[in-house]
A and B are shown apart, each in its own frame.
Chain A
Amino acid sequence: MWNTRRFPMLWLLPALLPVALMTIYPIAHALWTSLHSVMLLFPGEPFVGLDNYARVVKSNYFWDSLSNSLTFTLLAAPSVVAIGTLIALFLQRRFVGAGIVRSVVLLPWVLPGAISAVLWIWVFHPSFGVLNGILQSLHLIDGPIQWLTSPRLALFSVIVAHIWTQVPFAVVLVMAALATINPETLEAAAIDCKSPWRRFRYIVFPEIKSMIVVLVVYNALTAFTTYDLVYAMTGGGPGTATTLLSFQIWRESFSMYDFGAGSAVAFIVVAISAVLILAITRALPSDLFGSE
């Protein structure tokens, strides 16, 4: 590690500038817009203070979508990490065909959200979807279940699809964390402790704990701001059953042309996310900055 007294501009600006351009300016712009009345139909952009926020917070749809987003986040994030950890642990085993399983696990990761959406519409289709097909042939249900069009089930169904798209990343990161464990520690554990669950609880888990924490928070953030998959699967319906907070930004701005209100929702999303980001930085391993 070398010390230099000056900030290495020429080396860093090419990377920092585009990122700053796509974050700092838009955040500032969104903040400004949220404090002004910016509507396509009414010219002039008068300062209105917190009016936009007040209007948003008073509306029913805001609380509906906030509750949808929170439900989505609270169910999806822990599930993704739990399933991902389970698969990562399983993939530590050596067996014939392990390479194929490892590749297939990664598959949902590289599919564009829109494609994943279509795949899952197909799975959940009431009359010829494979899920109802299996359930009916096992005689678990009498008639077809309206997975995506009944208000109670739609949110649950899109959460399943969302989990499917996010699990691979969790698998990869947990595997990376597992790979840093000294194999001799695991061998010692195998001798000392017969129960696989205890081995995980007392030996493996402490070693990958910080990664799990980071993953949970990261996934909470992803789930809280997801957009494309749900949009393509249900368009927010039926009714407002799957309308997430992220939709409201879109709806206010591009359907209602009320950019002030849209930015206010956006800023509320940013504020809630900032809390999550802060939690991430607390949980990050401190050697990430190479301060050795």
Chain B
Amino acid sequence: MQAGRNHLATIVFASLILAFSGGPVLLSLIGSLVPDRILLDSSKSLFAEGLNFEGYRYVFTGELPASYLAENANRAMISDAARQVPYSLVNSGIIALSSMILNLLLGAPAAFVFARYVFPGKKVSFLFLILSPLVPAIALITPIYIMLQSFGLVGTRTGIILVHTAKALPFTVLILSVFFRKMPAELFEAAVLDHCSRFQTFVRIALPLALPSIGATGLFAFMLSYSEFMFSMILSGDADTRPVSVVMAALARNTDVSWSLLNTAIFIAIVPTLVLVVLVWRFVVEGLLSGAVKG
């Protein structure tokens, strides 16, 4: 009896978590597949007219849904911003990938020396690094804008990449140094006895061993960049440089836009993050958890 009640509690709690965390996303998927006139009419059941892919067709091809061509349709319901979603995904991809690669290139050597060496200034520089992301970005946005403007980087992807790289680097260094610290010290001592210089130890021993962790950390940096909004907004220019977070914010602030179309845009923007969730869970979180058990 006890076991049965326990089982029921598990199911109830799991469903609550699923509804809380996944519910809003599921709603947007449904919303994207049902036209507004059904969505907004409580007398009709949701799937009375079957699934409707007009929104998706419009976003990718620009072909207007038939219902919006009617004479009395509100033209404002169609937003060009929705059509920018696919290309903004490309922008986000380029920006996030560049930030990820830069993070690993710049962050891994620092993480390695933090993890394995004692040197003067270690504590100060490490504290500076891990505390810097706690300074609220909103407070620094004006000076950073002015600084990048003087470099001519406002309105370019390069500017956004630079800011995202700097914002993710503390996390990259922190996570990677945790991984490097978990490697057995004797391995590095053996390398020293085997005539490895610090650089050779790093390249020939530490990096090959940390490869899965480096992949995981890279994903994390990618994710931070992909979801960042504020700097993306002030630093991006026209549609050619706008990442997905900026385009979505523009859509969200447009109160006239069709719900169905909005949800279509949302769901298209969510798909890459769904893939990210699975990857991040597999590599980052489980890596951190399993390592923690051993340590």
Question: Does B190 belong to the interface (CB within 8 Å)?
Answer: no
Asked if A110 contacts B252 (CB within 8 A), the reply is: no
Could you name 30 residue pairs across A and B whose Cβ atoms are closer than 8 Å? A1-B117, A2-B118, A5-B119, A7-B119, A8-B113, A11-B110, A12-B110, A14-B110, A19-B170, A22-B132, A22-B140, A22-B163, A97-B14, A112-B228, A113-B227, A113-B229, A114-B249, A114-B252, A172-B285, A179-B292, A221-B136, A224-B136, A228-B230, A232-B248, A259-B142, A262-B142, A270-B136, A273-B135, A289-B123, A290-B181
Q: Are B252 and A221 in contact (CB under 8 A)?
A: no
Interface 1/0 per residue, A113-138 and B, CB below 8 Å: 11111111111000110100100000
Q: Chain A contacts of B56 at CB under 8 A? A: none
Cβ 8 A contact of A119, one of B27, B128, B181? B27
Whether A130 touches B27, Cβ cut-off 8 Å, given contacts A180-B295, A227-B230, is yes
Identify the stretch in A48-56, A99-107, A150-158 within 8 Å (CB) of chain B at 4 or more residues: A99-107
Which residue in chain B gives the minimum CB-CB distance to A129? B27
Which candidate, B58-66, B69-77, B207-215, B258-266, is the interface stretch facing chain A?
B258-266
Q: Are A280 and B134 in contact (CB under 8 A)?
A: yes
- Residue contact B125 to A115, C-beta cutoff 8 Å: no
A111 pairs with B273, CB closer than 8 A: yes
The answer for the CA separation of A105 and B136 in the assembled complex, in Å, is 26
A12–B125 CB distance below 8 A:
yes
B42 interface residue (CB < 8 Å to A): yes
Question: Complex: how many Å from CA A262 to CA B143?
Answer: 11
CB < 8 Å neighbour of B169 from A18, A175, A176, A231: A18
The one of B118, B166, B263 in contact with A21, judged by C-beta atoms closer than 8 angstroms, is: B166
A110 engages B127 (CB within 8 Å): no
Residue from the list B27, B106, B293 in contact with A15, Cβ < 8 A: B106
Distance in Å from the Cβ of B198 to the closest Cβ of chain A?
8
Which 9 A-B residue pairings sit nearest by Cβ, starting from the closest?
A225-B136, A29-B143, A112-B245, A15-B110, A26-B143, A266-B139, A114-B249, A26-B140, A119-B24
Interface presence of A242 (CB below 8 A) = no
- State the Cβ distance, B216 to closest chain A Cβ, in Å: 12
What is the bound-complex CA distance between A167 and B170, given in angstroms? 21
**Besides the contacts A7-B121, A8-B113, what 13 more A-B pairs have beta carbons closer than 8 Å?**
A2-B188, A15-B107, A101-B17, A106-B281, A110-B223, A111-B273, A118-B28, A122-B31, A228-B245, A231-B249, A269-B138, A269-B139, A290-B177
- Judge if A16 is at the interface, Cβ distance under 8 Å: yes
For residue B253, CB closer than 8 A to chain A, the reply is yes
Pair A246/B138 contact, Cβ less than 8 Å: yes
Q: Check B281–A25 contact: CB distance below 8 A.
A: no
Task: Check A33 for interface membership: any CB of B closer than 8 A.
Answer: yes
Residues of B within 8 A of A167 (CB): 21
B134 contact set on A, CB distance < 8 A: 218, 221, 273, 276-277, 280
Confirm or deny: A281 has a beta carbon within 8 angstroms of a beta carbon on chain B: yes
Interface pair A15/B129, CB less than 8 Å apart: yes
Known: A1-B185, A121-B252, A179-B289. A253 touches B142 (CB 8 A): yes
- Contact in complex: A164, B20 (CB < 8 Å): yes
Inter-subunit contact A106/B116 (CB<8 Å) = no
8 Å CB interface, B2-38 against A? 10, 13-14, 17-18, 20-25, 27-28, 31
Q: Select A225's contact among B116, B125, B132, B137, beta carbons within 8 Å.
A: B137
Q: In the assembled complex, how far is the CB of residue B12 from the closest CB belonging to chain A, in whole angstroms?
A: 11
Q: Say yes or no: B135 contacts A110, CB within 8 Å.
A: no
Residues B245 and A16 in contact, CB atoms below 8 Å apart: no
